[in-house]
Amino acid sequence: MSDARKKQRSYWDALADSDPDAAVIDPNDKRGLKNRYLAEIRDLAFLQTLAARNVANGMLLDVGTGTGSAALPLLDAGHRVLGVDISFGLLRHAQARCGAKDGLFVLTDGRELPVRAQGFDAAVVYVVLSYLVDDATALALLENIRTALKRGAVLVMVEQVRANRRICEDGLKVQRTISQWRRMLEQAGFSSTTCTVLRHGRFPLTPLIKAGLIPRRLWPRVRSIETWVGRHLGVLKWDYAEVKFVAVAP
């Protein structure tokens, strides 16, 4: 295993003792409110996109599943999920949360996916390839995902984006530009990519949610404001954004 992969694995394994949502979103979110809010944006993005593509009771591949935070609502919606991840510590949470449902979890660093070709109705990815800083490694994983998908099946991928490419978190993460992500998807053999800005990293209402100053019943309203801002302003020069890419395996 390369040094970069070892570094990734120990970073994520070290987070396995945290709360399962904190481990994979914001480890500093003590109350867990921000993490729940962000997880709900992710879950809606996956569920609504799959429903719009008529994927019901599908066989799904969740790449970089972590603690199974995204897998759980997909299982509850009637899908079967194979989750793969580089961290054994995080996968133990996933197994505990989802093992009794139709979830199956496998340890892999993504170089090879232990799945048969064209076996999946869709794949979901939430902020995983942003942690594959080397473009060739990220591209190889996307190619593996494309091979695992049935013809015409979709990849729904939410990743971090910047107006200018930026390496962050001490070299552990890269925020690519929308065109770099699109090019990579195209090189991996995907077609018809669409992208939607879901939220901005420094959206001013997020710290208020984190501090418990916005009641839960108003979260859907905050979400629609984020959607509106994303649609009209796109990726801002001074902030990163989480962008949903939907790409088709031809």
Exposure of 235 in the CB half-sphere (CA atoms within 13 A) = 20
Asked if 199 and 154 count as a contact pair (C-beta separation under 8 A), the reply is no
How many residues bind ligand SAM (CB under 6 A)? The answer is 21
Specify the stretch interacting with ligand SAM by CB under 6 A; choose among 30-38, 124-132, 176-184, 207-215: 124-132
Tell me the chain's radius of gyration from C-alpha atoms: 17
38 lies in the binding site for ligand SAM (CB under 6 A): no
Asked if 83 and 69 count as a contact pair (C-beta separation under 8 A), the reply is no
43 lies in the binding site for ligand SAM (CB under 6 A): no
Of residues 47, 55, 61, 70, which one binds ligand SAM by CB under 6 A? 70
Q: DSSP string covering 30-90, please?
A: SSSHHHHHHHHHHHHHHHHHHHHTT--S-EEEEET-TTTTTHHHHHHTT-EEEEEES-HHH
Q: How far is the CB of 199 from ligand SAM (least distance, A)?
A: 14
DSSP class of residue 109? -
Residues 87-116: x/- map of binding to ligand SAM (CB under 6 A)? x--x------------------xx------
Name every residue whose Cβ is closer than 8 Å to that of residue 142 and which is 6 or more positions away in sequence: 129, 155, 184, 185, 187, 188, 190
Closer CB to ligand SAM, 14 or 218, in the complex: 14
Closer CB to ligand SAM, 109 or 226, in the complex: 109
Closer CB to ligand SAM, 127 or 197, in the complex: 127
What separation in angstroms does the CA of 243 have from each of 13, 137, 176, 227? 26, 20, 11, 11
65 lies in the binding site for ligand SAM (CB under 6 A): yes
Specify the stretch interacting with ligand SAM by CB under 6 A; choose among 79-87, 149-157, 202-210, 218-226: 79-87
Q: How far is the CB of 40 from ligand SAM (least distance, A)?
A: 12
Alpha-carbon distance of 1 to 134, in angstroms, equals 14
Q: Which residues of the shown chain bind ligand SAM in the complex (CB under 6 A)?
A: 8, 12, 24, 42, 64-66, 69-70, 84-87, 90, 109-110, 126-128, 131-132
